[in-house]
Amino acid sequence: MQASVSIVRNAVLVALVAAGTMVSTGGPAEARRGSSSFKGSAALTATSADADARGTVKVGVKGDDGRFDLSAQRLDRKATYEVIVGGVKIATFTTSGGGSGKARLRTRPRGRDGVLGFDPRSADVVVRAATGADVLFGTVSGTTKGNDDGDVICCVPDDRGTECEDRTPAECAAEGGIVSTATSCVPNPCEGATPPAGGDIVCCIPDDSGTECEDRTQAECAAQGGTVVGANSCDPNPCAAAPPSDPDVQCCLPDDDGHECEDRTPAECAAQGGVNVGAGVCQPDACAGLAPPPTADVRCCLADDSGTECEDRTAAECAAEGGVDRGVGVCAANSCDGVTF
C-alpha cells in the first residue's frame, strides 16, 4: 500500500512539474505567477507630406524584455528618416532603392538592433523625414502598468541579480522584493540592471522646453520617466529630433457645442478626428460654417460578460457608466485593447 501511495505521489509531482507549477519543498504546491506579457501592433497613417507612405509597428513586452519593430514602405528612395516617440528620437533608418526601411529595437540588442529604452505600449509614433516633414504617425495599442489591477513593479532578488516583475504588494514583500515607483519594467528600474550594449547609459528626460539629455543610471532614468538610448554621450544630443516643418494649423475638433478650434499639427488634428482649416492661429470664427459633427460621442470601453466592449457614448455617459474614455472616434475591434476591469 505504501509503495502504491508513493507511486501516485510521484506521478502527481511529475504532472505538476510538466504543467509548469512550482512546488515548495516544505509544503503544498504553490503557483508562482510570472511576469505579464503583451503583444500589440499598429498601422501607421500617412500624412499629406507623403500620401503614398505605408508603415506598421509591432511590439512585445514580457517582464523587462521588450521589442519594437517598425517597417515602412513607399518612402523616398535612399533617404534618411527618424523614428520619434514622445518627442524623443529613438532611431533612424535609411530606405532602400525601393523606398523601404525598418527600425528594430530590443531591450537586449543583438546584431544591428537598437536599444529599446521605453515602454512601447501606448506609444505615439512618428516617422519624420530629414526635411522635418512628418510622413507617418500612429499609436500602439496597450497600456503601461498601473494600480488598477493591484499589481506594482517589484525588484525581486534572484540568483542572477535582481529581476523586475509584476507583483501585488503582498507578493513583492513575501519574495523579499522592493516596490519601485516606476510603472513598467521597460526600461528596467531595478538597480543592477544590465546596461545597454554599445555605450554608457544616456537618458532622454521630458522637459517643458523639450527633451533634455542627462547621464543617469538605468534605474534613475526609469524613475524619472525617461528613455534610455544607446549613446556614448550627450554631445551631440542623441535625443533631439529634426524640428517639424509643419507649423500648427487651425484644427476644428468636435465637442458638445459643435466644433472647437485648437492649435494642432496636421498629424495631431487628423489623429483626433478634427478638421484642418489651414495654417494660422485659432480665431473665434475659425470653425464657423462647419457642419455639426455627426456625433459628439467618444469610444467608451465598458465591462461586458465577454470582457470589454466598445460603445458610442458621450463623455459624461461613459463616466457615469464606469467606462474608460478612449477619445473621439468610431469603435473598432482594437479600440479597447489593454483596458481591463
pLDDT in tens, 161-192: 788 888 889 999 998 899 988 888 888 888 66
pLDDT over 80 (residue 139): yes
Burial of 137 (0-12, 13-18, 19+ CB in 10 A): buried
Decide if 79 contacts 129 (C-beta within 8 A): yes
Q: Report if residue 277 sits inside a domain.
A: no
Write down the residue that cell numbers 511590439 correspond to: 59
For the four alpha carbons of 235, 59, 144 and 152, in that order, the dihedral sign comes to: negative
Q: Report if residue 327 sits inside a domain.
A: no
The mean per-residue pLDDT over the stretch 230-243 comes to: 85
CB atoms within 10 A of CB 255: 14
The mean per-residue pLDDT over the stretch 318-328 comes to: 85
Does 89 share its domain with 156?
no
Decide if 59 contacts 67 (C-beta within 8 A): yes
pLDDT over 60 (residue 128): yes
Does 157 share its domain with 132?
no
Domain end call among 202, 230, 258: 230
Q: What is the CATH number of the domain that holds 42?
A: 2.60.40.200
| Number of domains, the chain | 2
Distance separating alpha carbons of residues 32 and 37, to the nearest angstrom = 15
Residue 299 Cα distances to 143, 183, 309, 316, angstroms: 16, 25, 10, 12
Does 114 share its domain with 169?
no
pLDDT band at 19 (very low <50, low <70, confident <90, very high): very low
The mean per-residue pLDDT over the stretch 134-143 comes to: 82
Decide if 17 contacts 11 (C-beta within 8 A): no
Helix, strand, coil percentages for the chain (3-state, nearest 5): 15, 40, 50
For the four alpha carbons of 233, 234, 237 and 240, in that order, the dihedral sign comes to: positive
pLDDT at res. 218: 77
pLDDT at res. 309: 87
Domain end call among 139, 168, 189: 139
Q: Which residue has the higher pLDDT, 73 or 309?
A: 73
Q: Report if residue 169 sits inside a domain.
A: yes
pLDDT over 90 (residue 101): yes
Does 89 share its domain with 168?
no
pLDDT band at 73 (very low <50, low <70, confident <90, very high): very high
Q: Report if residue 108 sits inside a domain.
A: yes
Q: Report if residue 259 sits inside a domain.
A: no
Phi-psi map region of 160: left, alpha, beta (phi>0 left; psi -120 to 50 alpha): alpha
% of the chain exceeding 90 in pLDDT = 18
CB atoms within 10 A of CB 238: 18
Write down the residue that cell numbers 533617404 correspond to: 79
Domain that holds residue 195: 152-230
Pick from 194, 197, 231, 191: nearest CA to 215: 231
Q: Report if residue 144 sits inside a domain.
A: no
Does 70 share its domain with 126?
yes
Does 158 share its domain with 182?
yes
Average pLDDT, the chain: 78
Q: Report if residue 235 sits inside a domain.
A: no
Bridging pattern class, strands 101-106 and 114-115: parallel
pLDDT over 60 (residue 39): yes
Q: Report if residue 267 sits inside a domain.
A: no
